[in-house]
Structure 1
């Protein structure tokens, strides 16, 4: 086990650097991205009306943040698995999830009221946080291990 870690030390170091980049995106979120819902959800949002927002600015900001997180996440997946088709598959999934999430988010904030605050909170969370990489890495690892065990 220790030899395996030592052998993969460069891969681990690059992956940790990429995780640090994801942390930097989170740390500087207020300076980098327009998101009035960030302050809204930090407060007592169950009793508040939606904040005023500029639709196109919010769309651009959410898209930029999702794209930045997705690119870093795809780099992590590539570094860990060294598999181009797997990385392309992940990119397609990121694209599909983006479309579903962004349409859902804007539909919810446009056509619903405060009764859907929890749903809006979680849809926005999937857009702004790199949650998918936390799901993909164990799933791809399990898939690779299962395929290797089936060949043996």
Structure 2
């Protein structure tokens, strides 16, 4: 695939991520969106919510963002091993962060609001791709340098 087409496809996927973020309130059940927008949420009372529905929507949003992020990685690097490794990393992150998020949802107290805020943010925003893209780029450059030396 030509580089310009890859850039266009990656740009389209980034736009899809932006659309998901822009329409998050209407696409997903998340009463915590407005709660965390408050400047004084650490002292506020958490709004009533349906825990199961919140967890399912958060996980669905994470999976949706992950699929798009893996698509970006696949188009950027065109390497099956990198795509498989990315998928495994996204899955491990889902298990770890999803477990912590679930725990925090069911044991929510004022002193856990900040932890809930950051774990939730990691799940609902495609932050992990910002780490993986430069890491895989560095890996590819380093690999090419090693091959050129031999």
- Per the normalisation by structure 2, the TM-score is 0.93
**1: distance between equivalents of 2:108 and 2:35?**
16
| Structure that is richer in helix per residue | 1
2:16 equivalent to 1:21: yes
CA distance in 2, matches of 1:125, 1:112: 16
Q: Which moved more, 1:60-69 or 1:102-111?
A: 102-111
Match of 1:109 in 2: 105
TM-score normalised per structure 1: 0.92
Alignment equivalent of 2:6, drawn from 11, 20, 40: 11
Q: What is the CA-CA distance between 1:110 and the residue it aligns to? A: 2.0
CA RMSD of aligned residues (A): 1.0
Structure 1: which 5+ runs fail to align?
Answer: 1-6
Cα offset, 1:27, TM superposition: 0.6
Q: Counterpart of 1:13 in 2: which secondary structure? A: helix
* In the alignment, structure 1 residue 87 sits paired with structure 2 residue 83: yes
In structure 1, the partner of 2:49 is 53
Q: How does 1:132-151 map to 2 (within 5 A)?
A: 132-151=128-147
Q: Secondary structure of 1:30's partner?
A: helix
Match of 1:128 among 117, 124, 127: 124
Higher mean alpha-carbon deviation, 107-116 vs 52-61, is at 107-116
Between the two proteins, the alignment pairs up a number of residues equal to 146
- Which residue, out of 19, 35, 39, partners 1:40? 35
C-alpha separation between the residues in 1 aligned to 2:7 and 2:103? 40
- Structure 1 outlier segments of 4+, above 6 Å: none
CA deviation after TM superposition for structure 1 residue 112, in Å: 4.2
